[in-house]
Amino acid sequence: MNHGDFTGWRLLVPAAGFTATLILIALEQLVPWVVTLAVTIIVTLLLIPPRQWRSGIEATSTDEPAFSARSQLPAILLPAVVILGQPFFLEILPLPFPVAVGLWGLLFSVSLVWVFRNLGRSMKVDGQRRITRSLASTDPSDVTPGRLRVADEHRELITALTELGAVDGVRARMWKLAEVTGRGVDTLPAEVQVLRRAGLVSVSTLDSGDDTTRHLVDLTPVGARVAEESGLIRA
C-alpha cells in the first residue's frame, strides 16, 4: 500500500520534460520546446491520471483545521525559496544561460516532488494527533469482542484510513480508499458498511448523493480505540 506512489518515480517524467522545455525556451527553439511541452503533458496525464492529482481527503473537523498552515510551512518553504531565488540563482551561476535555466528547472521540479512527499507524511502525523485525542475521549469498555473481530477482518481498510489521516472529522473519499487498498470501488462500500455498523467508521454522503465513489469515510474515536487495542495503530 502506497498512497503516495504517484509522487515518486512517475513525477520524474514531467520534471525532466519541464526542465528540457525551459532549456529549449532559453535557446529560443520554438518548435522543439512546444513539441517537448506537449509530449510532457500527454505522458504526464497517462502516468498520473487527473483524479490522482486530487488528495481525496476532505476536512470536516471544526476544532482543528486539518493540515494546518503551520504543519504545511516546511513543505512549501523549499519551492518558495527556489522560485523567489531564481534571478539570483541564474545571475551567480557560472554556466551558460540555457544550462543554468535547466538546472533551476530541475531544482524546482525536485522541490515539488519533496512537497508532495511531505504532504503524505503530514497527513499521517495529523491523523496520529486525532488518534491520540480519540483515545483520550473513549473508554476501554468500548472495545468489545465483536468490534475486535470486525477490525481484524478489515485490518487493511482501517490501516489505510490511519495512514491517510482520515480520523475523527477528516475523511477520505471512497475512491481514494479503493485506490490505496487495491479493492474494487464497487465492492468497497459493502466492506465499509460492515465497519460502520460496528461503530468503527462513519460515512457521509452529504455532497455525493448516490455516487458511492464520492462517499466520505473516517475512523471514529471508538474505531481508533479498537484499532489501537488490535495493534493496528500505536498511540
Phi-psi category of residue 51: left, alpha or beta, with phi > 0 → left and psi -120 to 50 → alpha = alpha
β partners of residue 58: 171
Contacts of 15 by beta carbon, 8 Å cutoff, 6+ apart: 106, 109, 110, 112, 113
Residue 150 near residue 200, CB atoms below 8 Å = yes
C-alpha distance across the termini of the chain, in Å: 21
- Which residue is it, cell 455532497? 207
CATH numbers and ranges of domains, the chain:
5-55+64-125 (no CATH), 135-229 (1.10.10.10)
Which parts of the chain have pLDDT scores under 50?
1-7, 62-69
Do the beta carbons of residue 110 and residue 15 sit within 8 Å? yes
Output the pTM of the full model: 0.61
pLDDT of residue 78: 67
Gyration radius of the chain's alpha carbons:
22
How confident is the model over 169-221, as pLDDT tens digits?
A: 888 889 889 888 888 888 898 999 999 999 999 998 877 777 888 899 999 99
Per the prediction, the chain carries an average pLDDT of: 78
